[in-house]
Amino acid sequence: MDLGRLTDTLDRLWTHEVMPPLIEYVEIPCESPDFDPDWARNGHMDRATARPGVQRPRTR
């Protein structure tokens, strides 16, 4: 196993595949009324759950 090649591959994947979607996701405002009293009307949860691979949480 080439440790340098493995490290380069993991660094590239982390930088270009993992981090961009996480950054985009956390930029969506929290659904808490403390952050945005109109969060439901503003569609923040819809935007967050519309991302590929994200399942919408069950409502109580």
In Å, how far are 6, 36, 40 from 23, measured between CA atoms?
Answer: 24, 19, 21
Residue 9 included in any domain: no
Residue 23 included in any domain: yes
Number of Cβ within 10 Å of residue 38's Cβ equals 9
Residue 3 included in any domain: no
Please give the tally of structural domains in the chain: 1
Residue 23 pLDDT level (bands cut at 50, 70, 90): confident
Residue bearing tokens 């591959």: 9
- Which range is most confident: 10-14, 19-23, 39-43, 55-59? 10-14
Q: Which residue has the higher pLDDT, 15 or 59?
A: 15
Tokens of 25: 């996701």
Q: What are phi and psi of 52, to 5 degrees?
A: -55, 135
What is the pLDDT, as a whole number, of residue 28? Answer: 76
Residue 6 included in any domain: no
Domain that holds residue 38: 16-52
Residue 60 included in any domain: no
DSSP, collapsed to helix, strand or coil, labels residue 60 as coil
Residue 2 included in any domain: no
